[in-house]
Structures are given as structure tokens and as C-alpha cells.
Amino acid sequence: MIAISAILFFVLGLFLELKNTRVTYSKEIFGNPILAFSSAVFTIIALFELFYRMEKVLKNRAGRMFLKGLSFFGENSIVVLCTHLLFLYGIRILEKVFGMQIHTFPVGGAFLIVVIAEVIVIKLMLRPCWKLFGK
């Protein structure tokens, strides 16, 4: 069962986000910065609580695989933080050159491409540079 605190934090974060009228993170328009920051913090706390509960509840194979994938990206988050914009800008350049709209594909086309590219980069980087990443 999902904890009441996770639901409360998520609802509180959603409410604060809705109260903050003009928020566009890509253009760095935050409306009221206190509401934007508070909304982000409450939503992140709710997600942490949710994943903590999921780890204890999910005992089946699909649940373990989902959490293993999250754990994989969490353990290698520094690689993801350093390279995700490189892939995203590469996709944007390809969109302009070929006139495609990858970022509007269903189920987040650009997101899936970046995730696949990140998995490949992490797997390749862990072999020769394992000391750099502490593995």
C-alpha cells in the first residue's frame, strides 16, 4: 500500500504547481520561484517515498527488473548528467537537418533514444574507465 505521506506530498506538489501560473523550465520562467521550488521538492519527496515503498512491495520479476533499471541509472547518474544533453542536442540537430519531429513521437521518442544511447555509453564507459567511476 502506498504511504499516505507520498500521496500527501504529491498532491501538495501538484497544488503548488497549479497555483504557480507561469512556469516554463525550458525558458527559465518560474513564476513565483518559491512556489516552483516548493512544488519540485514536494514532488521529489513523494517519488522517493513511492520508490522506497515499491522496493519493499514488488517481489515479482517485472517489479525487480523495473527497480533494477532505476538502480542502474542511479548508480551511473554522473555519466547520465554529463552526456544526456549531448544526445538531446544531437537529436535536435538531426531534426533540423532532416525535417523530422522525433521529440513529438508517442511515448517520448527523444526520451527513448536518449535512454538507449545512455545505456550504451554507460556499458562502454564502465569497461575501460572503471576506476574513474569507482566500480
| Tens digits of residue pLDDT in 68-83 | 777 888 888 888 888 8
Is 23 part of any domain?
A: yes
Q: Record the cell numbers describing residue 59, joined without a space.
A: 517481489
| Domain assignment present for 24 | yes
Cα radius of gyration rounded to whole Å, the chain: 18
Whole-number pLDDT of residue 62: 66
Residue 23 domain boundaries: 4-57
Instruction: Please enumerate in sequence order all residues whose Cβ is within 8 A of that of 89, keeping only pairs 6 or more positions apart, or say none.
Output: none
Task: Among 29, 57, 85, give the residue marking a domain's end.
Answer: 57
Is the pLDDT at 97 greater than 80? The verdict is: yes
Q: Is residue 135 part of a domain?
A: no
Q: Considering the entire predicted model, what is its pTM?
A: 0.54
Tell me, yes or no, whether 76 and 104 share the same domain: yes
- Report how many domains make up the chain: 2
33 with 75, same domain?
A: no
Rounded Cα gap, residues 75 and 58, in angstroms: 20
Same domain, yes or no: 83 and 42:
no
Average pLDDT, the chain: 76
Which of 35, 57, 79 is the endpoint of a domain? 57
Are 53 and 82 part of one and the same domain? no
| Phi, psi (rounded to 5 degrees) for 30 | -105, 0
76 domain-assigned: yes
Task: Clarify whether residues 76 and 120 are in a common domain.
Answer: yes
131 within a domain of the structure (yes/no): no
Residue 17 has pLDDT above 60, yes or no: yes
